[in-house]
Structure 1
């Protein structure tokens, strides 16, 4: 990759200035996110509970599966490790509402938690079919054998979109079991 800074040349040598910090040696350009293009982070997926559908006015749960991970490879003919860390999540619920969170969200645990509001859930106002999407914002760190150092900037990566079907539900009071007595009041 060509260097865009006049007078600086690419090199695989960095000078450690302290734990987790490094600076480019004189005449050496620092590593950038553009240099790490071959190390595209694993974005995971957007999960919608329950199973890709929801009910008008009731929380539909969304969460991301992206996690911190490392990749091995070469950069400027030197072996390196790149550590990608998700630092923000942009949830686009498909109805014109977006939310940026530093939390990835989590699955509902058990039936007692189903349909409850979470940090990343969304309640739709009307019956609609939407396509929800997720952008995970990553930071990168590199280790070329001398310890980890941060690469300046962030990298937003989109997860595959998910179709979400929102239903409208009406409840009716009945007098007993409608399967056993279909002619009971409210069963028909």
Structure 2
């Protein structure tokens, strides 16, 4: 059996599982939401940059189920997802409560540490016994990290622009992105993880040194619409060829073995292939012939510009 003394030394006391497991024991079972709250709080404690999708309504902590804290107090074993763990009490308090040890182990018999905490039921932690009674336990909590997110083959948005890539100097040139939400299934530590990548921001690079960072991907105009401003149009002030592109910033959420969805602490930025935009100028002139009769007349296909 894994003793409380050994358990408190194991992997910074992160006992919570990424998926709830209902176990019928005396005193009731902590809800899946509470278990997930403890997981997110532990993630936040280990990574200062971690954020939850919504503010947690409670603070969470945990303690042993036995009420005699000593090296001889063995924790009760339980099984979850084919892995052996130990049964723990889940403790909770209001989000603004003045309590000690949020996200950590609480000595159940220490009245000072327990002040303000309420017992929310038991849960089966996903830890394994270490080698020997005092050996560290193995933490099986699955956290889908930003590095994991960036290893996925997330597709970039499609960049769209003017017909044939041609536009005019000092015109509102419409470029827009066509993004898509994408779903993946992968494995972490032998457990199935579903991931959803959602486009959230679009960084347009127009090729002339100007950029635009927007939550709006833009939209297409009608075939007969020219020089119409949209949230993502750009005005080129000089003629020439420019390489335009868009980088799509994806946020992510993941679910372990069908459990609740959790936010990925990080983003995945994917750039589209560049598109050449040819910027031309216009000139006006009066002519006394048409191009059918005189191909080399001013402005006609055969005109040499002189």
Q: Structures share a fold, TM > 0.5?
A: yes
Bigger RCO (CA 8 Å, 6+ sep): 1
Whichever of the two has the greater Rg, that structure is 2
More helix by share: 2
Residue 201 (structure 2) pairs with residue 122 (structure 1): no
Give 2:169's aligned residue. Answer: 56
Change (3 A) 1:70 1:133: same
Change over 3 Å in CA distance of 1:44–1:97 after alignment to 2: same
**Corresponding position: 1:79 with 2:192:** yes
Secondary structure of the corresponding residue to residue 245 of structure 2: strand
Gaps of 5+ in 1: 1-5
The TM-score with structure 1 as length reference comes to 0.78
Is the strand fraction higher in 1 or 2?
A: 1
- Over the aligned positions, Cα root-mean-square deviation in angstroms equals 3.2
Q: Which one is further off, 133-142 or 37-46? A: 37-46
Which moved further from structure 2: 55-64 or 150-159?
A: 150-159
Aligned-partner SS, 1:23: helix
Distance (whole Å) between structure 2 residues aligned to residue 142 and residue 54 of structure 1? 42
Equivalent residue in structure 1 for 2:254, among 127, 134, 142: 142
Q: Structure 1 runs of 4+ off > 4 angstroms? A: 6-9, 24-27
1:79-136 per-position Cα deviation (integer Å, ceiling 9, x unaligned): 222111111100010001001010111111231x233111101110010111112111
Q: Which runs of 5+ in 2 are unaligned?
A: 1-10, 21-31, 43-102, 104-138
- Correspondence for 2:75: none
Superimposed CA distance per residue, residues 54-102 of structure 1 (whole angstroms, 9 cap, x where no aligned partner): 1100111111122112122323222222111111100010001001010
Q: Distance in 1 between matches of 2:192 and 2:142?
A: 18
| Residue matched to 2:33 | 17
Contact 1:21 1:148 in 2 (8 A): no
Q: Distance in 1 between matches of 2:38 and 2:261?
A: 9
Aligned length: 179
- Alignment match, 2:155: 42
Q: TM-score, normalised by structure 2?
A: 0.50
